Amino acid sequence: MATDPRSPTVAVGLQGSCCSGCAVTAYPAEEACPRCGGPAEPAVLQGTGRLWTWTVQRYAPKSPPYQAPPGGFVPFALGYVELVEGVRVAAVLEVDDLDDVRIGMPLTVTAGHGVPRARLTTTGEEGS
């Protein structure tokens, strides 16, 4: 578990991998580079990026990896976030209102139980 002292709200880093040959980043971590097949080293991803595309999940997904909340399933937004490292990560979008979701909105992805979570990037994190 990686903690960054500069951003105390980010408790869990995204454990990905980075190719030692062509520098392609992968998430989740892979032992071999998805592009060139070369050896990949573990890398903690920054987790900041922008929403690439998204949809609303209106029925309970397959479990695992989905874990229903204690109160039961409620529809939620699921999207792909294109990270600054260039890899797209599927994540649950933690937004107050689904009408606020926009493609290209700045998001920060953190690993959690089950699938990663994405929330709006706060000003302090942007560009870091």
Residues 75-94 that bind Zn ion (CB under 5 A): none
Pick one of 10, 14, 33, 91: the residue that binds Zn ion (CB under 5 A). 33
- Residue 18 or 107 having the CB closest to Zn ion: 18
Site string for Zn ion, 34-53 (x = CB under 5 A): -xx-x---------------
Show the tokens assigned to 114.
């089950």
22 is an interface residue for Zn ion by CB under 5 A = yes
Contact 58, 52 (CB under 8 A): no
Which part of the chain contacts Zn ion (CB under 5 A), choosing from 14-22, 53-61, 101-109, 111-119?
Answer: 14-22
What b/e string do you get for 96-113 counting C-beta neighbours within 10 Å, with b at 16 or more?
eeeeebeeebbbbbbbee
Tell me how far apart the alpha carbons of residues 16 and 42 are, in angstroms, rounded to a whole number.
Answer: 6
Pick one of 21, 28, 86, 124: the residue that binds Zn ion (CB under 5 A). 21
Tell me how far apart the alpha carbons of residues 42 and 64 are, in angstroms, rounded to a whole number.
Answer: 24
24 is an interface residue for Zn ion by CB under 5 A = yes
Tell me how far apart the alpha carbons of residues 89 and 79 are, in angstroms, rounded to a whole number.
Answer: 8
10 is an interface residue for Zn ion by CB under 5 A = no
Which residues lie near Zn ion (CB under 5 A)?
19, 21-22, 24, 33, 35-36, 38
